[in-house]
Amino acid sequence: MEQSLDLNEIRAQITETDQQLLKLFAKRRSLTLNVAKSKAHQVRPVRDQQREQELLIRLIKQGKELGLDAHYVTSVFQTIIEDSVLNQQAYLQTLTNPNLQLPMVSVAFLGNKGSYSYLASHRYFSRRAEKIIESGCQSFADIMQQVEAGHVDYGMLPIENTSSGSINEVYDLLQHTNLAIVGEITQPIEHCLLTAVNTRLDNIKTIYAHGQPFTQCSNFLDKQHDIRIEYCDSTADAMAKVYELQDETVAVIGSEEGGHLYQLHALEKSIANQDENHSRFILVARKPVDVAEQIPAKTTFILATGQKPGALVECLLVLKEKGINMCKLESRPIQGRPWEEMFYIDVEANLKSAAMQEAIGELTELTKFIKVLGCYPIEHISPTSVPAAEI
């Protein structure tokens, strides 16, 4: 009895410590926002990796004196630094694009509450808007139309997945739209087998899911016998269906986080072929955004070269000569013109930069068709590395 009282006392102290931690996180965030404000009129980049590294090395040394190991200090401060960088970038973006500072945004995404697109939308806007008006759609084309027609501000579209590759349907839709890409976000995809009632894996006879999760969990599914597969338009639809059935013989493939919304529980976790699985989403809007010069930017454009041999290589040489790094190249057939290809190119460059303006000029002369789909902040913040010797 006395021991359990002790435990309550310790837990009260942990709760107290957590409150203090939260307050310090909030204080640190407002301090780094002040740093961003002082940098607003300079063209210095938000990140100074040299400074970050020195900071981490100092913290590791001080942490050791307090009995904290280097790996813990590194990993917790990498998260704190990432938050600080993303927050400074979001602030600088609202200075460059005053119309982005909205308390409320409306977003169209695939499926319903709980889909991976829903989770990505909420994560993207969590530091950018106070309230999100959700608009679940049944297809990628619907999402585009919702934005084009002005029914919503933004559309969230998955564009590629580390395990199953590019999502061709979205690439094809981008060929025929006037919408601009204004942002990106990478969402971890953690497939679980979820059920509405307590059951066992041997009892499952039917699995509901979207086509992508099926492909990504093929090894797990191959090992199950006598299972019927029901394709759904989205993960959320599949979840709603399984919730409705309340049947111990049915399950759905989806995220645990999303499944909570349908009172589903994980029967099996991590059932994907690859342990680590991420989807990159793009955010589209009717108007393009400018990216503040202090922020790393990505520009996406499409081009068609015609059937001249070596034409693509010439285009890539232009980028190389301007010192512009290409981070993605994807080709898609042009509808109605067999053997002709449209190339989708992502580069790490700000559209406003002199190098990029010159490159676009030269590419226009080399190609039959070229269109910039958008320029937007790079969302991925690579963690500051620390020399192994310091650890």
Question: Binding site for substrate: which residues?
Answer: 11, 28, 39, 48, 52, 84, 88
Question: Binding site: which residues?
Answer: 11, 28, 39, 48, 52, 84, 88
CB of 190 to a second copy, least distance (A): 9
Element (H, E) at 109: strand 104-110
**What does 265-314 look like in DSSP terms, one character per residue?**
EEEE---SSSSS-EEEEEEEESS-----TTS-EEEEEEEE-TT-TTHHHH
Range 152-181, binding a second copy (CB under 8 A): 162
Contact between residue 69 and residue 59 where contact means Cβ atoms under 8 Å apart = no
Range 4-23, binding a second copy (CB under 8 A): 6-7, 10-11, 13-14, 17-23
The Cα 239–Cα 232 span in angstroms is 10
Range 86-115, binding a second copy (CB under 8 A): 113-114
- Cα 8 vs. chain centroid, distance in angstroms? 40
Among the listed residues 342, 344, 346, the one whose alpha carbon sits nearest the alpha carbon of residue 299: 346
Task: Please count the residues of this chain forming the interface with a second copy, following the rule CB under 8 A.
Answer: 71
With CB under 8 A as the contact rule, the residue among 95, 97, 122, 267 that binds a second copy is 122
- Class of residue 179 by CB neighbours under 10 A (exposed 0-12, middle 13-18, buried 19+): buried
Q: What is the x/- site pattern for a second copy, positions 50-89, by CB under 8 A? A: -----x---x--xx--xxxxxxxx-xxx-xx--x------
Distance, first Cα to last Cα, the chain: 42
CB of 317 to a second copy, least distance (A): 12
With CB under 8 A as the contact rule, the residue among 276, 331, 337, 357 that binds a second copy is 276
The Cα 81–Cα 374 span in angstroms is 27
CB of 150 to a second copy, least distance (A): 28
Contact between residue 296 and residue 349 where contact means Cβ atoms under 8 Å apart = no
The interface region with a second copy, picked from 148-156, 214-222, 301-309, 382-390 by CB under 8 A, is: 382-390
Contact between residue 300 and residue 181 where contact means Cβ atoms under 8 Å apart = yes
Range 320-349, binding a second copy (CB under 8 A): none
The interface region with a second copy, picked from 96-104, 240-248, 356-364, 381-389 by CB under 8 A, is: 381-389
CB of 100 to a second copy, least distance (A): 16
Among residues 247 and 256, whose Cβ is nearest to a second copy?
A: 256
Asked if 48 interacts with a second copy (CB under 8 A), we say: no
CB of 299 to a second copy, least distance (A): 19
